[in-house]
Amino acid sequence: MAEELSRYEPVVKKFEYLDHTADVQIHSWGDELSEAFEQSAMGMFNYMTDIDGVVPRSQRAISVEADDLQSLLYKYLDELLFLMSCDPYYIPREVKITEFDEDKFSIKAVAYGEDFDHKKHGGQGTEIKAITYSAMEISVRKELVDVFVIVDI
């Protein structure tokens, strides 16, 4: 497996985990809104298992629409989390947003990963049960976009 993973570039990680009572807060950032959203998803999956050990064998596409930016973030992460709970379970190494319409609040994205294997990926992290709106924050500045989202573990 190490040989198989050696041909992939390291995953760029622009996220961190902040202490929060009973849950976990993911702080992600990027040069653009789409990158900060991508990093939120990767932070979510990395919390469940080390995404550096995931091989991008297949891809899954998602599409979401919402009424505002916070709802869009919620639906985007919720749809990706749903992939993890489908049969077969799916764990992305990377998520790329292919279309992001900030005016119509819609996203199309592709997750690159593989079916979750408890022997390979299990026991490394904590299951995320749900996305929450609690303390959700999206801060867009000229030089950087920050996203804060609390997930229920």
CATH of the domain at 90: 3.55.10.10
SS3 123: coil
CA terminus-to-terminus distance, the chain: 29
Retrieve residue 104's tokens: 């119509």
Residue 135 has pLDDT above 80, yes or no: yes
Residue 84 lies in a domain: yes
Omega prior to 88 cis, within 30 of 0:
yes
Are 23 and 126 in contact by the 8 Å Cβ rule? The answer is no
DSSP 73: H
What's the rounded Cα separation, in Å, for the pair 17 and 140? 20
- Reported as a pLDDT band with limits 50, 70 and 90, residue 123 is low
Residue 148 lies in a domain: no
Residue 50 has pLDDT above 80, yes or no: yes
Residue 1 has pLDDT above 60, yes or no: no
Mean predicted confidence (pLDDT) in 66-79: 98
Residue 106 lies in a domain: yes
pTM over 0.85: yes
Structurally, the chain folds into a number of domains equal to 1
88-117 tens-digit pLDDT: 889 999 999 999 999 999 999 999 999 988
Q: How many residues are present in the chain? A: 153
Residue 26 lies in a domain: yes
- Which pairing describes strands 58-65 and 137-140: parallel, antiparallel, or unpaired? unpaired
Residue 108 lies in a domain: yes
Are 1 and 114 in contact by the 8 Å Cβ rule? The answer is no
Residue 11 lies in a domain: no
**Domain region containing 83:** 16-121
What's the mean per-residue pLDDT of the chain? 91
Compute φ and ψ for 28, nearest 5 degrees.
-125, 160
Which residue has 């049960």 as its token pair?
Answer: 129
Question: Across the strands, what pairs with 25?
Answer: 18, 150
SS3 38: helix
Residue 2 has pLDDT above 60, yes or no: no
The whole-number pLDDT of residue 3 equals: 62
Residue 137 lies in a domain: no
Residue 112 lies in a domain: yes
